[in-house]
Amino acid sequence: MIVLGGTASNGIDERLSKIIGAKLVKVEHKVFPDGESYIRMPSSLAGEEVILVQTTQPPQDKNLIELFLTIEAIKDVGATKVTAVVPYLAYSRQDRRFLDGEAISVKTILNLIHSLGASTFITVEPHHPESLSYFPGEVKVVDPLPSLAREIAKVVKRPFVLGPDRGAAGRAERLARELNCDFSYLEKERDRRTGEIKVRGVGLPSLKGFDVILVDDIVSTGGTLLEASKIAYSLGAESVNVVAAHMLLVNGALQKLKQANVKEIIGSNSVVPKERVNLVDISDQIAVKL
């Protein structure tokens, strides 16, 4: 068995190879002056089972193309099996047709990963786990919440978990179970054409004295959690904190959250954003799925 480090592996490839005692090989790659990616397998993979680690954090399209090129190359050079470990799965939020005629992006991505040669797919905290059924092979899901809970538990005294929308209710419940505390969730509406969001709290208890932990799968622009943090503070929260699996942190998200007095921001290393935040390593949780 060989662990193959892709062009975006965030060190997870190195840790996985140590944990499972498999040889680590790194793909050779470069980018041509016109922006096209070049990928080469530096050693023979013939007859091997290969675990490829390639996340699809920003720049998503580049990392996806490099994922596709790598999977097919692994198969072409004679590997017997490819397991694609994609800690952050880009395009996962477009998992249905919200407006007529839209591409169901996650379906395309998962079909491509499979048809290029990966028979097993492993990812961390998918946006909607049901959408992984678009992958025709074996699927394994890594739950980062226990590790994230241990980290946030170090800094909060009276936790209360709040999901920013109905879709996050299950996630909020899971995190609350880890922290042995109560949870609730907000209501979010998104204008499907402009992308504008409205978040509101309905029937929430007073949060006076509580350290509120907002939990989401992805923090992108920070807009959702900014609105959620305002609601939490307006209900008397002692502090507001953020726990999320995938910290994309684009368009000044970190600054926005800090300005809104969000205290702790904890994510996983499925994505390593440009700005520094506390990231928990999820290699151990991935290793148990192999």
Q: Residue 204, class by beta-carbon neighbours within 10 Å (0-12 exposed, 13-18 middle, 19+ buried)?
A: middle
CA 269 centroid distance within chain: 8
- The residues facing 184 across adjacent strands are 162
Which 114-143 positions form the footprint of ligand R5P (CB under 6 A)? 127
Cβ closest to ligand R5P, residue 68 vs residue 91: 91
The separation between CA 42 and the C-alpha centre of its own chain, rounded to angstroms, equals 29
Residue 264 binding ligand R5P, by CB under 6 A = no
Q: How far apart are CA 58 and CA 250, in angstroms?
A: 9
Of 6, 126, 222, 273, the residue at the interface with ligand R5P (CB under 6 A) is 222
Q: Which of residues 44-73 bind ligand R5P (CB under 6 A)?
A: none
Smallest separation, CB 200 to ligand R5P (Å): 15
Find out whether the peptide bond into 273 is cis, omega within 30 degrees of 0.
no
What is the nearest approach in angstroms of ligand R5P to the Cβ of residue 35? 26
Map residue 118 onto helix, strand or coil. Answer: coil
Residues 201-220 that bind ligand R5P (CB under 6 A): 216-220
> Nearer Cβ to ligand R5P, position 82 or 279?
279
Nearer to ligand R5P, 58 or 137 (CB): 58
Name the minimum Å distance from CB 18 to ligand R5P. Answer: 32
Looking at residue 163, what DSSP letter applies?
Answer: E
Q: Does 258 bind ligand R5P (CB under 6 A)?
A: no
Cα dihedral 233/235/240/244 (nearest 10): -120
Q: How far is the CB of 257 from ligand R5P (least distance, A)?
A: 9
Contact (CB, 8 A) for 5 and 53: yes
The residue from 62, 188, 256, 263 that is catalytic is 188
Q: Which residues are catalytic?
A: 188
Residues near ligand R5P, by CB under 6 A? 93, 127, 164, 167, 216-224
